[in-house]
Chain A
Amino acid sequence: MLDELWALVKGAGHILGELWWFVVVAIMIASVMSTLKLDKKVAQLFHRAGAWAIMGGLLLGLVSPL
């Protein structure tokens, strides 16, 4: 039972080891955007861009390391 639990903890640690930077980057991006109120500015920018905003979102998605 303890061995199984330890194996699960090790497995979870291994997965987290591959994911942690993704989580940290995501939290940092969200925090910086929220603190500097960039999310509202980006939303306004996207709103003004109209149909081109979708292309902007696509380009960001393709080049982002997330």
Chain B
Amino acid sequence: MAPVMVFLISSPLMSPSAFLITLGSLGMSIAMWKLISAVVLGLAAGLVTDRLLKKGYLGRSILRVATSSNGQDQNASCSSGDKGARISQKRRTIMEEAMTFLQVTGKYSIFIGKFIIIAVIAQAIMVRYVPQDWVSALVGMKNSYSVLISTIVGIPTYVSSISAVPLLRGLMDLGMDKGAVLAFIIAGPIMSVPSILAVMALFKQKALYIYITLGFFGALIFGYTYRLI
């Protein structure tokens, strides 16, 4: 389960396309720091999860849903009798696999879809009623609290790296603190409403706490460290 938590933390933080977008808009320094933060926070998440699992704090698994569909039952029911005598064994297996795939896809679509719909509506309400000027004024402040404020503001206002990077480029041109920029782009993808709801849907509560804690304090630590350098 530790590798799952590593993936959960590092995947939203960094991808080849996210690196290129950050590099092109915010510069090499921030792109490299974001990559370093993805590696460090990912490893930290893995080690913490591994340690807690070994101590029995997280139970046997951090997953809320059971994995693998029960394909054996279908195989048993379909193979009985002689109704499929004319169909070759191979073709029947493909048909059964296709049916299982459709059933599983439907199950996952409903399961994940309901959380995504809630997340998208919540995000739309925030984007609509939280004024962009207000966000700019908050995260653009240059004082000792700007990294903390940027981390907190990044949670509800982050939509995607595609929309966040141009906003931050504009704020950087207006003099936004570089530590606050890094804190925003670390906290945002990890703790945005859709991310939290997706993690909440698939993982147990204790795993969610680890995820949120690492995201929040990771953004703060990297933001303040980057500011000092």
Contact = CB atoms under 8 A, between A and B. Distances in A.
B11 A66 contact: yes
Contact of B162 (A18, A39, A60, A65): A18
Contact of B38 (A8, A19, A32, A61): A61
A38 to B, nearest CB: 9
A19 B116 contact: yes
Contacts of A28: 105
Given A34-B104, A56-B3, A57-B3, A62 B15 contact: yes
Contact of A27 (B5, B47, B105): B105
A50 to B, nearest CB: 10
A54 to B, nearest CB: 4
Interface string A29-62: 0111011110110010010000001101110111
Given A54-B46, A57-B46, A61-B10, A35 B104 contact: yes
A23 B112 contact: yes
B6 A58 contact: yes
Contacts of A15: 120, 123-124, 127, 159
Contacts of B105: 27-28, 31
A34 to B, nearest CB: 5
Contacts of A9: 124
A58 B15 contact: no
11 contacts: A7-B128, A8-B124, A8-B128, A15-B127, A30-B104, A54-B46, A57-B3, A58-B6, A60-B7, A61-B7, A64-B7
Given A54-B2, A58-B10, 18 more contacts: A8-B121, A8-B125, A16-B116, A18-B163, A23-B113, A30-B108, A31-B105, A34-B108, A36-B97, A56-B3, A57-B2, A57-B3, A57-B5, A57-B6, A62-B15, A62-B35, A65-B15, A66-B11
